[in-house]
Amino acid sequence: MARLAHGVTGGPPALPRLGLGCAPIGDLYAAIDPADAVATVHAALASGFELLDTAPKYGNGLSEARLGRALASVDRRTYRLSTKVGWDVTEGRDPVPAFDPEAVLRSVESSLRRLGVDRLDIVHVHDPDDHLDQAVAETVPTLLQLRDEGVVGAVGAGMNSDRSLAELVRRADLDHVLIAGRYTLLEQGALSGLLPLCADRGVEVIAAGVFNSGLLVDPRPGAPYDYKPAPADVLARALRIQAVCERHGVPLRAAALRFPLAHPAVTTVIVGAASPAEVADNAAMTRAPLPSVLWDDLRDAGLIDAGAPLP
């Protein structure tokens, strides 16, 4: 195996408040034009979404390859880049688990090649739900070695399960975690366990999936939730939240984008986009005025956990 190129050391990177989730440019929901993917990344950087989050699993390397093409003309100092390990990807087949040290090294080397860079600011262990012991014993130590060598700036884990992610924080030396869909305006499962644990241990939290797969963009029958049609009770809750937002003249997606950042453990919110227009809308939502009474009404209606910090 070829030796990985060494990057720049200096500890975990300082993270921006906003980031672009790059799964959509890997054809997550629909095929998009490669030129649109490049334009989306450039629009995000111009709008202040300076953490770019991808993974080999997104489109079996397509997201990373398109992101790499977009970044070829961008100053490396102007963005932070995160990707993931844990799944072996080959075009034409489903990803398979690959959490052992050799697989991790191959994955990082492949990501560096697709992205066209010589270092990665963050590498997350990706969805090790059924492989937690191996992640602790093999995957994280391999990434920590790469961190010591300067190839990786920081080591994290990204999951949809806040309980499993909390277990990893307790058992492994992580700089960051990425929690998808479990600390959002719709649900705050991470509030009681994961977030206080991270705050206590100095582990920075990246909140992703803040639209809950799109349900908090347009709650309607058939809208996605965890990448499947939303159950009736979940849809009903989203519609109640939307109704409160509408009473205050606030777009639901604006409240959804801003809510997670109020928690002191959350450093960054990541939101996906598949076009420059979606980036522009997300950027506008970060600037929309939000009256404090909105949050009071949501809490009084039992739609936000009583212990959640409010913007």
The bridge status of strand 228-229 relative to strand 204-208 is unpaired
With H, G, I as helix, E, B as strand and everything else as coil, classify residue 154: strand
d(CA 78, CA 16): 11
Structure tokens at 80: 């932070």
Residues 15 and 80 sit within 8 Å (Cβ to Cβ)? yes
- Report DSSP letters for 24-79, one per residue: GGGTSSS---HHHHHHHHHHHHHTT--EEE--TTTTTTHHHHHHHHHHTTS-GGG-
Q: How many CB atoms lie within 10 A of CB 247?
A: 11
Torsion, Cα 84 24 286 39, to 10 degrees, reads 110
The bridge status of strand 120-126 relative to strand 80-85 is parallel
Q: How far is CA 86 from CA 75, 144, 158, 211, 242, in A?
A: 29, 15, 11, 25, 37
Name the residues annotated as catalytic: 58
Torsion, Cα 46 47 49 53, to 10 degrees, reads -60
What's the distance, CA 167 to chain centroid?
A: 19
Structure tokens at 56: 């080999």
**Residues in the chain, total:** 311
